[in-house]
Structure 1
């Protein structure tokens, strides 16, 4: 399998108010098409690790490779461009613009990337919504959708630029068990049938157990 993401001996310190060693010698590798979950008690460092993996946190020691390219020491602007093109995000809260239609919400990252015409982006956004069973909701304002539907729109938005990797931070944390199961099936299908790499932080035991691989953390280390 092709390695999509790799860390070598990543260490992270918080310095305020006292020095605290939050991540200790983290070395992991994630392959293309793998659905990986990061688990552990609150405060174990899993969300901190996710922020480093997603290039949003640059203040660490060690090396991070994305698609075999070293991300460490790149500038804020370089990383922002890489994120927009190569990483899709799904958070616990969907962060949709409520006054925009679902279609418009999905289009935003692609419009920002600017590689396709607005017409092409609109067609692609519609296809992504169709894949997630939301074609009939495309022109509705995001505020009119249920929580589960809004989270599926957020997944469509994360997919619009064909990212190398999707990062999820508690992607089912706000959903009931039925919608959690729907989102998990979407992720599994994306990983196994579309070769989409997914890394998700989760407290949901069931979600983690069904993923391809669990990375369990405790006290800033992988156990």
Structure 2
């Protein structure tokens, strides 16, 4: 039996500036463990807004959000921040690496913040994640000495460091050429198939979406 990792019930969201506008309408769906899900839709369809709600970073909505069978809706900011750090890894369009830090140090940051393991254990885990991404030989290089594709792979390693339940990607291949887009896609696929990782990615790339396990298409705030 597959395990439900994330579930939404009747999520509505409004923007009020400059006028009242409903940006998400009655969003209900489930995501299973080990699933690779792509969210697509034109600009303004609501997909990025939905991702921010799913990630618990946006709490101004009606309806319910469950992660790992726990209700997120209504929890305090601090509690949500702790859950995010432990259970969600983020990969954005831009890598947001600290350029003067080594790749290894960049990958270690979320785990140091979580404070569950010693620095030595975190370093070992960081090497392990870089190895999965084929970058262990770049571990001690400053992040700014890597190519764009390599930097994005370091960002994925950083997202994996706390062994999160979910990886959420906001246009994770948006800044990459087709060769590096394929590399990142293959990594995501390997993570879901071989490591049971669950991935939700917002993308404009139709080829990327078509190859994932499931597509949620949005239009005018609705799942179509």
Count of aligned pairs: 223
Unmatched 5+ stretches in structure 1: none
Alignment partners' CA distance in 2, 1:54 and 1:134: 27
Unmatched 5+ stretches in structure 2: none
Alignment partners' CA distance in 2, 1:220 and 1:131: 37
Structure 2 equivalent of residue 136 of structure 1: 137
Under a length normalisation based on structure 2, what TM-score does the superposition of the two structures give?
0.99
Deviation per residue, 1:58-114 (Å, 9 max, x gap): 000000000000000000000000000000000000000000000000000000000
Structure 1 equivalent of residue 103 of structure 2: 102
What secondary structure does 1:115 align onto? Answer: coil
Alignment partners' CA distance in 2, 1:188 and 1:65: 24
Deviation per residue, 1:129-187 (Å, 9 max, x gap): 01100011000000000000000000000000000000000000000000000000000
The equivalences for 1:16-95 within 5 A come to: 16-95=17-96
What secondary structure does 2:96 align onto? Answer: coil
The equivalences for 1:172-191 within 5 A come to: 172-191=173-192
Under a length normalisation based on structure 1, what TM-score does the superposition of the two structures give?
1.00
User: Structure 1 residue 193: deviation in Å?
Assistant: 1.0
Deviation per residue, 1:17-55 (Å, 9 max, x gap): 100000000001000000000000000000000000000
Alignment partners' CA distance in 2, 1:72 and 1:104: 33
The runs of 4+ residues in structure 1 deviating greater than 2 Å are: none
